Amino acid sequence: MLLRNRCAKPAQDQLALRNQSAVPGNYLPDIGDARRYWRAEVARAGQTGSRALLSMSSTILKEITEPLGIWASADDSLSMEVARRRIVSALGVSKLLRASWANQPAVVPDFTGPSGELGTLLDIVVDARPDPPEPSDSRVHTTIFIENALPSGANEQWYQHGDLWLRQVRPAEPTDFLVNEFLPNLGIEPDFSQLETIYPYVVAR
């Protein structure tokens, strides 16, 4: 994220996740491209032995692919809406990670760094409530970069990057599942003190 991309908080209907008119059919080229990319990353994870890459790539691929069939065949509006949210949410995460890795040589992520510090972490949320007053969204936790300092007295900042809206939040906001189940099951002691959270949202079409 660059400081020049800072922007005001977008209106809710500008975020595909919040706009029920932003249906998967509006994003078919993006969906196809994302599926091809993450299938290749699943294969690369097998070659490199990276558990983190396998976890990220297979999760994103599942969250884009699985709900497509549900959305196309569901006969009730809630199932269709939850499937729609899963797809556009996963597209946002996909675009964020791909943009982050674009200028790096063949990134092989890991859950922890050489000193045991947490690496970039994917935190997928599936909110199946019909009309949540305070939605819980998928997010990515990443190391704090000083050059992306937040405005004085604020704990969040919005950015627009291509066809993504990005919400940067400090301190990090990990889900209970990530902190209490996923990381402990890997034998990792969660410490998010040096991480911030990025919420990616695809622009509504």
Cα gap 203→201, rounded to integer Å = 6
Amino acid at 177: F
Residue among 2, 71, 70, 66 nearest 38 (CA)? 66
CA angle 196, 190, 106 (to 5 degrees): 60
DSSP string, 91-106: HHHHHHHHHHHTTSSS
Q: Which pTM was predicted?
A: 0.93
Helices marked H in 49-121 = 51-73, 77-101
The pLDDT tens digits along the chain (205 residues) read 566 788 999 999 999 999 999 999 999 999 999 999 999 999 999 998 999 999 999 999 999 999 999 998 988 999 999 999 999 999 999 999 999 888 776 778 888 888 888 989 999 998 888 777 777 899 999 998 766 678 888 899 999 988 999 999 999 999 999 999 999 999 999 999 999 999 999 999 9
Which helix H or strand E contains 198, and what residues bound it?
strand 195-202
Structural domain containing residue 113: 3-202
How open is the CA angle 191-196-197, to the nearest 5 degrees? 110
| H helix runs in the chain, sequence order | 28-48, 51-73, 77-101, 176-177, 183-185
Total domains in the fold of the chain? 1
